[in-house]
Amino acid sequence: MTVETHGQLTPAGILLDGFLSLGTPEGFRAELIAEEIVVQPLPDGNHEHCLNVVLKQVLRKSRTDMDFSGNKGMELPSSEGRPRNHAVPDGTFAPTDLHLFRGADPWMPPQGVALVVEVTSTKPQADREAKRRCYARGGIPLYLLIDRDDSSVTLFGEPEGDDYRQHMTIPYGKPLPLPEPFAFDLETAAFG
């Protein structure tokens, strides 16, 4: 699906075509974020442990039944004239009654997603900045960032335009209140 202007290929179209046809090597995953193709190794065990801590609490404590998908591709809006972003959140939660993941394309739209989770790894600045802005542009209500470098957890909420209007950062060990549809305090001591 190359973007053309007056019969000419655009740089955005060439970049998107290149990304979509990329053969990612085994043991790696690729994303297209803010006009940059990012190829990273698969996460380590401590990364997956943090994600598992969140998953268990959401499934056990959440007021709303949630479905979970790990490493689900998401197609997100970008600035006009630029290729759409293709992010792979570490974790994605959606209300079970939406059946959002069943039959979804490899790169699904963000509509209906309640929360995305990122655990920092080899490119933490992308999780802190570029991906946060992509998720806000996509209208994803909540973005949870587990920052292993800073030993902190940040919850971003109320997306508006290119960013979130609210955020709360706490150090590991303190509870983090998750709003509706979750409505419980996320325990963070096990991240450290």
Closest CA to 71 of 92, 100, 96: 92
Tens digit of pLDDT for each residue in 142-160?
A: 999 999 999 999 999 999 9
Please name the residues in contact with 53: beta carbons below 8 A apart, sequence gap of 6 or more.
Answer: 187, 190, 191
**Lowest-confidence region among 70-84, 108-122, 160-174:** 70-84
| Joined tokens for residue 138 | 């996509």
The Cα 46–Cα 125 span in angstroms is 18
Tell me how long the chain is.
192
Strand partners, 20: none
Per-residue pLDDT at 135 exceeds 70: yes
Tokens 């939660």 -> residue: 93
Mean pLDDT, residues 70-84: 84
CA neighbor of 145 nearest in space, from 164, 172, 167, 118: 118
Contact 94, 70 (CB under 8 A): no
Q: For 4-36, what is each residue's pLDDT tens digit?
A: 444 567 777 777 777 777 777 776 667 677 777
Degrees (nearest 5) of the Cα angle 17, 71, 34? 45
Which of 5-9, 71-75, 119-123 is predicted with the least confidence, judged by mean pLDDT?
A: 5-9
Amino acid (one-letter) located at 130: A
The reported pLDDT for the residue numbered 2 is: 42
Q: Can you give the pLDDT at residue 27? A: 66
**Distance (Å, rounded) from C-alpha 135 to C-alpha 131?**
6
Q: What is the pLDDT of residue 80?
A: 72
Helix (H, G, I), strand (E, B) or coil at 54: helix
DSSP reduced 3-state for 68: strand
Domains located in the chain, CATH noted: 44-191 (3.90.1570.10)
Copy the structure tokens of residue 158: 């109320």
pLDDT at position 3 is 45
